[in-house]
Amino acid sequence: MKETNFGVEASKGNWAPNKKISYAPLLDWPIKPLKTIKWIFGFPGFFLPWNLFYILLSILVWFYLTPSIETMRSFKFDWIILIYLRNIFLTVMIYGSWHLWFYVWRKQEKKFKYNKNWPNKNSNNFLFKKQTYDNIFWSLASGVTIWTIYEVIILWQYSVGNLSILRFNEYPYIFILLFLIIPLIHELGFYFTHRILHFKFLYKVAHRIHHKNINPGPWSGLSMHPLEHLMYFGIILILLLFPTHPLHTLNLLIRLGISPAEGHSGFDRIVINKNKSFNASFYAHYLHHKYFEVNYADGIFPLDKFFGTFHDGTVEGDKIFRERRKNLN
């Protein structure tokens, strides 16, 4: 696969895809039913690859890697540490796989890499003077710990009866529908939490840790200040507003915990062989790390368009952004 078939060399030798950044057709008007159906069931689309992956992974984790409801009725160290170790394992496995492919084995060299430089290995801006080590520290020491705290408390509350459990055999359609709503909850929660974190005080205190990664790699995704982790994983509290099943909680928490890996890979696509590619275009979020004030959302809802923070990745979009920044100053 040639880069020139899919994009162009941008400024300073970096690479940019030809295709404009666009949103899902969910809210298009007039409604485009065929386009919407293709997005829902196509590849890549709403289900494939990532939403289906997170659903299947959460089912696997619930049935095979989570203590029983009966066990969790007693708030004891043994099952809590098992959940913590499981979350460490998931994080290392997912983030580590992305990092190994792109940055250790360098299977693609710099093909389809937005920023052609490799992560910084000697900078006083990072702990241990290395971007990757800094990212791993914040991801595991703070990220997985706070993820686990939320999960343990909520699962414990389910087990002792303080939270209503929505059961599949009683409400199968609602049970399944919630799996389809969770990505939308994630999107809305992430956008507004992200905008709040860009308020001057919170940015200076917390969010700047994440934005040290101007040239992000997979481990940059969960590299955050503990305060940001509290807010970010706090999106899970939305599910407490109505009856759900612990499986839905796991699905959203796993999505929050591991989905930043692919979103921060730094590459537009994974090359499988000469004829096929696994499309993983996350240029919109790369541009957020590059410019800081654009593309706060993930891409299902056109929230950035609504609030005037959208950058479509084109030269024209660059001009619009710079003009907007000049007017704000």
- Beta-carbon contacts of 14 under 8 Å, excluding residues fewer than 6 positions away, are 113, 114, 115, 116
Q: List the structure tokens of 146.
A: 């706070």
Phi, psi of 221 (to 5 degrees): -60, -40
Average pLDDT, the chain: 91
**pLDDT over threshold 60, residue 84:** yes
d(CA 261, CA 184): 19
CA 270 to CA 107: how far, in whole Å?
9
Structural domain including 288 reads 3-328
Tens of pLDDT along 36-69? Answer: 999 899 888 899 889 999 999 999 999 999 999 9
What confidence tier does 281 reach under pLDDT thresholds 50, 70, 90?
low
Amino acid at 130: K
The structural domain count of the chain equals 1
Q: Which residue has the tokens 């162009």?
A: 8
Chain-centre distance of CA 263, in angstroms?
6
Q: How far apart are CA 289 and CA 275, in angstroms?
A: 31
Q: How confident is the model at residue 278 (pLDDT cuts 50, 70, 90)?
A: low
Q: Residue 28 corresponds to which amino acid?
A: D
The tokens 């690479």 sit on which residue? Answer: 15
Q: Which two tokens stand for residue 315?
A: 């030269």
% of the chain beyond a pLDDT of 90: 68
pTM for the model: 0.94
For 123-135, what is the mean pLDDT?
Answer: 95
Kind of pairing between the strands at 7-9 and 15-17: antiparallel
Q: 274: pLDDT confidence band, cut at 50, 70 and 90?
A: low
What are the residues whose beta carbons fall under 8 Å from the beta carbon of 68, sequence distance 6 or more? none
Using the Cα atoms of residue 307, residue 309, residue 312 and residue 317 in order, give the sign of their dihedral: positive
Is pLDDT of 276 > 70?
A: no
Q: Which residues of 269-285 are buried (b: 16+ CB within 10 A; e: fewer)?
A: bbbeeeeeeeebbbbbb
